[in-house]
Chain A
Amino acid sequence: MTNDSTHAATAEVTAIDTQARVPLTLLLAAGLIWLVISGVLGVITSIQLHTPGFLADCSFLTAGRAQAMRETSFLYGWIANTGLAVVLWVLGRLGGSPLRALNWTVAGTIFWNLGLAVGLVGIGLGDMTSFASFQLPRYVGVLMLFAYAAIALPGVLAWSGRRSHGLFASHWYGVAALFLFPWLFSAAQLVLLWSPMRGTLQAVAGGWYTQSLWSLWLAPLALTGAYYIVPKVAGRLMPSYDFAPLGFWTLIFIGGWTGGRHLVGGPVPAWIPTMAVVACTMMLFHYILVGLNLRIASQAGGTAIKFIRFGLVAYVLTGTLDALTSFRVIAVETQFTFMATALEQLGVYAGISMMLFGALYYMLPRLTGRPWASAALTTGHRVLVSFGVVLLVATLAVAGWTQGSDLLDSKLALGEIFNRLRVPLMVGTAAQIALVAANLLLVVNFFRSACVCCATSTPSETPFRQPSALEAHAS
């Protein structure tokens, strides 16, 4: 290992981090608050699944509305805020100079979350659009778009003004996430809300949006952090890195074509689900290459890596199961069941969110210049959230598989199927409660850590070790 003394800027925490402290901590805090809100809504919806009468008298929280609010606050609250913070920070670090125009991010954060809150109240009052993962009412769309642009601006500036000429993998994913979401969101707004397409075309366009959101936004947000942190902590070159571009472009080019994923057997021409099956199969390229590149995560330690490793395994598993269950032979069993929910949770919770947790744990000490406040809370959160998410996905998968085979048996009445689902669904509620508890630990830890930095001046001694230079031919 060579000690790189030629670079003056090798100190682990620099002006890049200190400048970004307040705006990015604000984004992270907003994300965590939405995470808890969506967790509470998750508990409510999961109780409603096995006890339909729960809160049914409250029109604000019918099963459909609570479910839409849970999903929306999770995607556009937790993942959006946290993911954007991670992307901005990584792009800043890679750009080599402090982020510019961070005031825009602060303003954008306020308006984005304001818009989201208004949107959620709107859903509760019955203004949901009824398209999966696109439930925000029409009237907040434009506000959200402008707020998004404001949040993303420093990231784009950091990218265009970067010092090095090459682009690192995190650049690709980060810039793709920043750049593609507005197109995606406004294109869907146009054909679903402003000038709605006819009949089942809405379902096709809705499917295109849902799948594109996954592959062009949620996954890149998380992978930006993973591709940066894993080699950084492991101190190694990523194996098979020369194929990383192939993995990236597969995700970006093929992702949208999986749009007919959930329309198998539905009232759309057969070629749409067929195309989705083909695209899901081709997407395996991406998942395999990401797995190959980031397999060095298994050779490093620490809180962040443990989270990211969990997330990566879940992410690759999501892709594989997605491809498998898209085939018609298997889809006839899994379609319209909790298996779809299980896969969705595997993707966005066990995959994306765990990677974002890892990035959050890596990032916050660098923003505040101090370690996390409590080791016990850190470990406690990791253990409890891993337990909760595994339990949740497993029970949903069991419920989904039972439900699928029961539905195929036409002699079994729906009420009977429902009775057989009750036990797994009750365990699912326990998992949701565990997740809320785990995330409350994180919130406490986060605010203690963040407030310590506000209360005292900069710490006298940096807790960070001096990083060394990566040897180009190390592997």
Chain B
Amino acid sequence: MSTPLNSDPRIDQAAVTDESLQSAHDVLLGKQPDEKARYKLLPLNLLFLFSGLIFLAGTYLNRYAGHFDPHIYNENSIPVKGGAVAAVVVDPVVAGKKLFNNAACNTCHMVNGVGQPGAIPPLVGSDWVTGSEERIIRIVLHGLQGPITVNGANYNSAMPPFGRVAGSGFNWSDDKIASVVTYVRQEWGNQAPPVTTAKVTEIRTKDGDRKPWTVDELQKLP
């Protein structure tokens, strides 16, 4: 075939007619009789290339689609069976801090846990907080009434019941009680072991509904 010169930049000459362009290419697609049997399979190198691409794409899709889960944002993770948010681990200190600062606690004990002189005892460095978990859980569950001595200073006020017990305005679950108690035992330099939800449940089922504790009653406990 001779290539048209097309030396004039102002005009492009066509080499072939529209009809022949279409009919000749139709032959290649096998739409018209192909006398010389010019069909050929996909050239081998293309075949290899395409197979490689398909394999790569398939592997990538399988590996990084997070099982098409709507709550998976990191392509390296896969959803946990039995619910989209099942594996979320909640740190009780984080949850406890929210509870402490969100509800009634911080209004009396203050955000930094120092309390108010003469009325509200401090939580920082208090034996009541870092000492026996039996006592502090009961105080938060059922409340406390009457005078109390903390770190040598006297306080007298009423702590309302927070647990899921009669007369409580808060009805916090054992979970929440455990979180907030763990928080105050580990914040502001306090270093006491955390309390478990199971322990709270145990105490609540044992004591049931009752009026707020007094210091004398609590001191009889371990």
Q: Which residues of the other chain, B, contact A64 by a CB distance below 8 angstroms? A: none
Partner of B29, one of A166, A278, A379: A166
Q: In the docked arrangement, what's the CA distance between A469 and B24, Å?
A: 9
| B-contacting 9-mer, from A43-51, A297-305, A338-346, A389-397 | A297-305
Q: In the docked arrangement, what's the CA distance between A332 and B1, Å?
A: 50
Report the interface size for chain B: residues with CB under 8 A from the other chain.
Answer: 60
Q: In the docked arrangement, what's the CA distance between A165 and B23, Å?
A: 9
Given A166-B31, A237-B28, check contact A269 B71 (CB 8 Å): yes
Q: Shortest distance in angstroms between B34's beta carbon and chain A's nearest beta carbon? A: 10
CB-based contact B3/A1 at 8 Å? no
Given A374-B10, A378-B10, check contact A235 B5 (CB 8 Å): no
Q: In the docked arrangement, what's the CA distance between A93 and B22, Å?
A: 11
Q: Does B170 contact A (CB under 8 A)?
A: no
Interface-centre pick from B1, B49, B61, B68 (highest chain A CB count, 10 A): B1
Partner of B18, one of A93, A267, A304, A371: A93
Q: Shortest distance in angstroms between B199's beta carbon and chain A's nearest beta carbon? A: 39
Q: Which residues of the other chain, B, contact A229 by a CB distance below 8 angstroms? A: 12
Q: Does A271 contact B (CB under 8 A)?
A: yes
Q: Shortest distance in angstroms between A284's beta carbon and chain B's nearest beta carbon? A: 6
Q: Does A7 contact B (CB under 8 A)?
A: yes
Q: Does B13 contact A (CB under 8 A)?
A: yes
Q: Which residues of the other chain, B, contact A423 by a CB distance below 8 angstroms? A: none
Partner of A235, one of B1, B46, B66, B70: B1
Q: In the docked arrangement, what's the CA distance between A84 and B86, Å?
A: 54
| Chain B 1-40: CB-based contact to A (< 8 A → 1; otherwise 0) | 1111111111111111111111111111111100010111
CB-based contact B66/A303 at 8 Å? no
What 4 A-B pairs are tightest by C-beta distance, nearest first? Answer: A235-B15, A302-B6, A469-B20, A371-B10
Given contacts A234-B3, A235-B1, A275-B61, 17 further A-B contacts (CB under 8 A): A4-B17, A10-B19, A164-B23, A233-B12, A237-B28, A238-B28, A268-B73, A270-B66, A277-B64, A281-B53, A300-B6, A303-B9, A365-B11, A469-B17, A470-B24, A471-B1, A473-B38
**A interface vs B, CB < 8 Å?**
1, 4, 7, 9-10, 12, 93-94, 96, 164-166, 168-169, 228-229, 231-238, 240-245, 267-271, 273-275, 277-278, 281-282, 284-285, 288, 299-305, 328, 361-362, 365, 371-375, 378-379, 382, 463-465, 467-474
19 contacts between A and B (CB under 8 A): A1-B1, A164-B23, A165-B31, A229-B12, A231-B16, A231-B21, A232-B16, A235-B4, A235-B16, A241-B28, A242-B29, A278-B60, A282-B53, A365-B10, A372-B9, A464-B13, A465-B14, A470-B21, A470-B24
